[in-house]
Amino acid sequence: MVETLNIEINKVAESRLSQVDFNNIQFGKIYSDHMFRADYDQGEWKRPKIEPYGYLPISPANQTLHYGVSIFEGMKAYKHQDGSVALFRPLENQKRLNRSAERLCMPDLPEDIFMEGLTRLMQLDKNWVPNLPDTALYIRPFMFSSEEYVGIKISEQFTFLIITSPVGAYYTNPLKVKIEMEFARAVKGGTGYAKAAGNYAGALYPSKLAQQQGYQQLIWTDGQEHKYIEEAGTMNLFFVINDTLVTPELTDTFLPGITRDSIIKLSKHLGFKIEERKITVEEVVDALKSKTMTEAFGVGTAATLTSISHIGYKGTDYEMPNSAGGYFSSQLQNNLEDIKTGKIVDPFGWIHKIT
Ligand code: COI
């Protein structure tokens, strides 16, 4: 790509790469050598930088600390067999970041800052992209208010950062999940569709209660009536009912996942029957009771495709007939991972190679 931004680059004196045991990486514990940074002030983005990964000084009156003015994205880079590094659908993240930014009164982040920053960062830290099965370099772009002001107002100063982290699987086993019928993650007209930090903070307490009951995740239902299935906090949801894949149609109350969109397109490409529509809790429970639901799984960047082994509803746990995954989930998982890692041809134009 043509570089236009003149990014200021300050490299680490010594890489930390040799300290990393790539055979034993946990999700989100290690960060690569560099981070990308762009600051916004007085109505414009300033000259961006790449600098050593490190702590940020922060005012105790910072608006983000008090009011949660923070949004983020998640994407992954993969090592292909020829040694090249490939990103998966990065422009979708840039577009979604800006939809979140609009909702939280944050500035639009131009495509060139996002893509050039990402590209230069990947070029510098390409050796941090792992190549073992089920590993990737997780990329976390995020933006927050950097303004020092303890009153409530729309901020005028922001920081955009990209940090990266070599990761293994987010979930290592199929999940036992509970349909949440009391608490709400989001309501109509709220911020549910945005990747806003506060959505995740608000989900912690109901998730903690569910964990105390032996569940690893919640299936959120709509905040008004608890009648419709929405998402699972870290993942969008798919069910196989009567050999048809069904997934909740998008509303403004849950995240329009990029993996969700990819799974829908891939399903159509593979000739699977797939429906995006409203799914009631009642339909899910009936399908579990009658065993017409044969598979359930969540999808997300971090979670990739994770099978659901049990679904809990009002004190009863229903075990999935294919609790460790079945035909649909394994086909979709394998095909998607093979596209991402360059093992099969990408028929969709999703792969963005770093040159
Ligand atoms: C992702 O899948 O990238 C996410 O942002 C989920 C996160 C909660 C780990």
Q: Is there a domain that residue 209 lies in?
A: yes
Q: Quick one: what percent of the chain has pLDDT higher than 70?
A: 99
CATH of the domain at 193: 3.20.10.10
Q: Is there a domain that residue 131 lies in?
A: yes
Q: Is the pLDDT of residue 3 over 90?
A: no
- Which domain, by its residues, includes 54? 8-167
- Cα(281) to centroid(ligand 1), Å: 24
Q: Which of 241, 191, 199, 244 is nearest to 218 (CA)?
A: 199
DSSP state of 40: E
Q: Are residues 129 and 229 in the same domain?
A: no
Give the C-alpha separation, 209 to 206, whole Å.
5
Q: Are residues 120 and 267 in the same domain?
A: no
Q: Is there a domain that residue 281 lies in?
A: yes
- Which single residue is written with the structure tokens 């009936």? 286
Question: How large is the average pLDDT for residues 128-148?
Answer: 96
Q: Which of 76, 165, 301 to mutate to test the pocket of ligand 1 (most atoms within 8 A of CB)?
A: 301
- Cα(303) to centroid(ligand 1), Å: 7
Give the C-alpha separation, 115 to 138, whole Å.
16
Q: Specify the ligand 1 atom closest to the Cα of 140.
A: 3
- Residue 206 backbone class (left: φ over 0; alpha: ψ -120 to 50; beta: rest): alpha
Q: Are residues 120 and 179 in the same domain?
A: no
Q: Is there a domain that residue 355 lies in?
A: no
Q: Specify the ligand 1 atom closest to the Cα of 27.
A: 9
Single out the residue in 167, 187, 215 at which a domain terminates.
167
Q: Are 335 and 342 in contact (CB under 8 A)?
A: no
Single out the residue in 150, 167, 184 at which a domain terminates.
167
Question: How large is the average pLDDT for residues 323-333?
Answer: 91
- Cα(207) to centroid(ligand 1), Å: 15
Contacts of 4 (CB under 8 A, 6+ apart): 112, 116
Q: How buried is 163 (Cβ within 10 angstroms: 0-12 exposed, 13-18 middle, 19+ buried)?
A: middle
H/E segment holding residue 87? strand 85-88
Tokens at 254, concatenated: 């849950």
pLDDT tens per residue, range 252-299: 999 999 999 999 999 999 999 999 999 999 999 999 999 999 999 999
Q: Are residues 223 and 330 in the same domain?
A: yes
CATH of the domain at 69: 3.30.470.10
Q: What confidence score (pLDDT) does residue 185 get? A: 97
Residue 28: CB atoms within 10 A of its CB come to 13
338-344 contacts at long range (C-beta below 8 A, 24 or more positions apart): 339/266, 340/76, 340/78, 340/86, 340/88, 340/136, 341/78, 341/79, 341/80, 341/81, 341/86, 342/78, 342/80, 342/81, 342/82, 342/84, 342/86, 343/81
Give the C-alpha separation, 230 to 109, whole Å.
28
- Cα(256) to centroid(ligand 1), Å: 12
H/E segment holding residue 86? strand 85-88
Q: Are residues 308 and 247 in the same domain?
A: yes
Q: Are residues 189 and 46 in the same domain?
A: no
Q: Are residues 319 and 245 in the same domain?
A: yes
Total count of domains within the chain: 2
Q: Specify the ligand 1 atom closest to the Cα of 200.
A: 8
- Cα(34) to centroid(ligand 1), Å: 21
Q: Are residues 161 and 198 in the same domain?
A: no
- Cα(235) to centroid(ligand 1), Å: 8
Q: Are 71 and 90 in contact (CB under 8 A)?
A: no
Which residue's C-alpha comes closest to atom 5 of ligand 1? Answer: 74
What residues flank ligand 1, with Cβ below 6 Å?
Answer: 74, 234, 300-303
Q: Are residues 222 and 151 in the same domain?
A: no
Q: Specify the ligand 1 atom closest to the Cα of 300.
A: 2
pLDDT tens per residue, range 14-72: 999 999 999 999 899 999 999 999 999 999 999 999 999 999 999 999 999 999 999 99
Q: Is there a domain that residue 282 lies in?
A: yes
Residue 328: CB atoms within 10 A of its CB come to 25
Q: Is there a domain that residue 270 lies in?
A: yes
Q: Are 75 and 89 in contact (CB under 8 A)?
A: yes
Q: Specify the ligand 1 atom closest to the Cα of 302.
A: 2
Q: Are residues 103 and 76 in the same domain?
A: yes
Q: Are residues 195 and 118 in the same domain?
A: no
Single out the residue in 147, 167, 187 at which a domain terminates.
167
Q: Are residues 110 and 208 in the same domain?
A: no
The pTM score is: 0.97
SS3 261: helix
Question: How large is the average pLDDT for residues 73-90?
Answer: 97
233: confidence class by pLDDT, cuts 50, 70, 90: confident
